[in-house]
Structures are given as structure tokens and as C-alpha cells.
């Protein structure tokens, strides 16, 4: 099996599994005052420190949540007033602010800065939300520039950094933002745990009430094993300095080989800065559903876009916002690599892609011409 769907969920790192297994053997509620509870509290706060270190924040600014979706919802639904969001945001942002002003992007999927000030002046949003890296294309957004403009009009700035964390440097202060969403399972941690990181002086209201946990910002007994796995995954991501050059080289080789086989193929968002691990590939004339099934039969896992919306019928809202023609958008798949990816994974994918292209689009002629 070849797993190339890290943007949906990365395999859990072995050290994280070991740490969580040990945590599951411990007894104690972090809110209890006896020895068992105090030991659990220490473990929870050590995990929180690991999360905070990854994004340059103080530990007490980290609110542990059930994942990125909850963090996005708390960031946007707990602040009174209108919202403005980029047109390529994750569904959890669009769903949390269904009436938000949609900020347009260009053909590469980057938010259009020209005219942004005028749009914000008209809308006067209480909060602006722009993701750091797109989950479908990997395209990086100019978050610092957006934040500077939004602050001029008095808006708070939220950034969904779920896909970016662990792949590019993320620092709350350097980005100039107020709220930051994270998720463990994108970077080798467990599913079901994430965080909303808040700037000093910003106090989003809790979505869950009825307890004093998380400094009264999220009620409910904390997911201690999940938090321990999350914290360790963040520390490991900080230590993995070879991630970007190694995985980036694999992704670049994959794209170069595909384009050599089929010059008419397209890598969406390729002209601008992207995550090193992500490639959105359009195979001319072959639907993404056909590709998905064919690759799955060969034991290769890729996706047609966001895992949160891949079961829905209809084109990607991200590619539509980029102005990608529907026929091309319907032939696009997402290939995403990660910490355990190897050259053999690229080889298997390129070989399978070539066979499918040859079989369905008469690629033999192209292959013969380029031989």
C-alpha cells in the first residue's frame, strides 16, 4: 500500500503511539486535587507546552479542542459581529460563518490584496479569517499582509493553520494574528485533538459550557492521552528539520515526471509558494473519480480534495474560486506526502498515473513521441 493522502490525515508517529499507550495506562482526572489528578495535570500542561512551542505562543494561550473544526468554529462563532473570509477557506470556516463576506482569490488561489482595504472598509467585519495554507492545493496565503490591512479597520484576524503546521514555520506573533487553529492528526499526532491559540487580550467565548476546564474557555474533561500525543507530535515536528527539503524534493520529482509523461497535465497553484508536500494534479480528460478508483485498486491512496467534503457531489469550491474550468477541476486530484513518504511511493504513483493516462487518453502516442 502507498499512502499519499497526508493532508487528510497523517500516519501517527510511532513515538506518539507509545506515549499515548502509556498515558492510557494512567489514572486520574487533571481537575482532581489528589496525587493522581496532579500527575495528570502535569502531563497535560507539559503537552500544552509542546503545542505552544510549535507556534511561538505562551502555553496559557492554548485552548485544547477536539480538532481544527471546533477551533475554527470557536474562533468565528464566539466573536460578535460580521465576518470576512477568503473564498478558498476550509468548509469548517465557511460553515461557521455562512453569511461572511467572501474575499476573492486570483488564478493561483492567493487572496487578492488589491482592493482588499476597500472591501473591508465596506464590510467592517469584526473578524477576518484567512488560512495559512490551502488544504487542496497547498498554496500559501499572504497572511501577514492581510492581517496588517484588517487591523487598520479594527478587525480581529483568525488563521486556520491546520495544514501548514509542521510543514512551514508558524508563529502567532510574526503572523500578526489574534487566533490560530491547529489539529494534531495532520502532523503525525492522533485524531480528535486540536487547539485554538489566542493572543494575549483576546478572549473568545466558549462553545461548550458547564465546567472550568481550559481556563473556562472549553468545558469538559480534557482528552489527556490525545493531548499527550498532540504535544509530542508538535515537538517532533519542530525537531524534524529535514522535512521540507526531503519531502519537497519528492514532490518536485513527482510533478516533473508527470509533466514529462503528459505535458498537457496541469499542476494547480504551481506558480506561487506552496506547501512542500502538496500537489493538485489535473489529468486531461479523465475524471477524478475514475482516477481515485483506479489508484485505489492499485493500492495507492490519494483524494479528490478535502476529506471533509470529498463525499459530496459537485466541484471543488476552492478550484471554482480560482477560476479553474469545471472540466479541468473535475479531473484534479490531490496528492500529499508526509513524514514517512519515500522515493518508492513516488515511483509507484507515477507508474500508476502513466498507465491510467496511457489507457484512457491514448498516451502511447505521447510516450512514443517523447522517447
Residues marked as catalytic? 308
Cell reading at 160: 486556520
Q: Which among 1, 6, 2 has a CA at the least distance from the CA of 279?
A: 6
Residue 354 · residue 363 · CB < 8 Å: yes
- DSSP letters, 44-81, are HHHHHHHHHHHTT--GGGEEEESSHHHHHHHHHHSS-S
How distant is the alpha carbon of residue 61 from its chain centre?
21
Q: Which among 339, 278, 304, 321 has a CA at the least distance from the CA of 89?
A: 321
Residue 229 · residue 184 · CB < 8 Å: yes
DSSP secondary structure code for residue 206 in this structure: P
d(CA 47, CA 78): 25
Sheet of 194-198: strand order equals: 62-65, 194-198, 179-183, 156-160, 127-129, 83-86, 101-103
Cell reading at 347: 515511483
Amino acid at each position: 500500500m502507498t499512502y499519499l493522502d497526508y493532508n487528510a490525515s497523517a500516519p501517527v508517529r510511532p513515538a506518539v503511539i507509545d506515549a499515548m499507550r502509556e498515558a492510557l495506562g494512567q489514572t486520574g482526572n487533571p481537575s482532581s486535587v489528589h496525587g493522581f489528578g496532579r500527575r495528570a495535570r502535569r502531563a497535560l500542561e507539559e503537552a500544552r507546552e509542546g503545542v505552544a512551542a510549535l507556534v511561538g505562543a505562551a502555553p496559557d494561550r492554548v485552548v485544547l479542542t477536539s480538532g481544527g473544526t471546533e477551533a475554527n468554529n470557536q474562533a468565528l462563532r464566539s466573536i460578535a459581529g460580521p465576518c470576512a473570509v477568503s473564498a478558498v477557506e476550509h468548509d469548517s470556516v465557511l460553515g461557521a460563518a455562512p453569511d461572511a463576506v467572501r474575499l476573492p482569490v486570483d488564478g493561483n488561489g492567493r487572496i487578492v490584496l488589491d482592493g482588499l482595504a476597500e472591501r473591508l472598509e465596506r464590510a467592517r467585519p469584526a473578524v477576518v479569517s484567512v488560512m495559512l495554507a490551502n488544504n487542496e492545493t497547498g498554496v500559501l496565503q499572504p497572511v501577514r499582509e492581510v492581517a496588517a490591512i484588517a487591523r487598520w479597520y479594527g478587525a480581529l484576524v483568525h488563521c486556520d493553520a491546520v495544514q501548514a503546521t509542521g510543514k512551514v514555520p508558524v508563529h502567532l506573533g510574526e503572523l500578526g494574528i489574534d487566533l490560530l487553529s491547529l489539529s494534531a492528526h495532520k502532523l503525525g499526532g492522533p485524531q480528535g485533538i486540536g487547539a485554538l491559540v489566542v493572543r494575549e487580550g483576546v478572549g473568545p467565548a466558549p462553545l461548550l459550557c458547564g465546567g472550568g476546564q481550559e481556563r473556562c474557555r472549553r468545558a469538559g474533561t480534557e482528552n489527556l492521552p490525545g493531548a499527550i500525543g498532540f504535544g509530542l507530535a508538535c515537538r517532533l515536528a519542530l525537531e524534524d528539520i529535514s522535512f521540507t527539503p526531503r519531502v519537497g524534493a519528492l514532490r518536485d520529482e513527482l510533478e516533473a515526471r508527470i509533466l514529462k509523461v503528459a505535458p498537457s497535465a496541469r499542476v494547480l497553484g504551481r506558480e506561487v509558494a506552496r506547501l512542500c508536500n502538496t500537489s493538485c494534479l489535473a489529468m486531461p480528460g479523465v475524471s477524478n473519480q475514475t482516477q481515485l478508483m483506479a489508484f485505489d485498486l492499485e493500492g495507492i491512496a490519494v483524494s479528490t480534495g478535502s476529506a471533509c467534503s470529498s463525499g459530496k457531489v459537485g466541484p471543488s469550491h476552492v478550484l471554482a474560486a480560482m477560476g479553474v474550468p469545471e472540466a479541468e477541476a473535475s479531473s484534479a486530484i490531490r496528492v500529499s506526502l508526509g513524514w514517512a513518504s519515500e522515493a518508492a511511493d513516488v515511483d509507484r504513483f507515477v507508474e500508476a498515473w502513466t498507465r491510467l493516462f496511457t489507457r484512457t487518453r491514448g498516451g502511447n502516442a505521447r510516450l512514443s513521441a517523447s522517447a
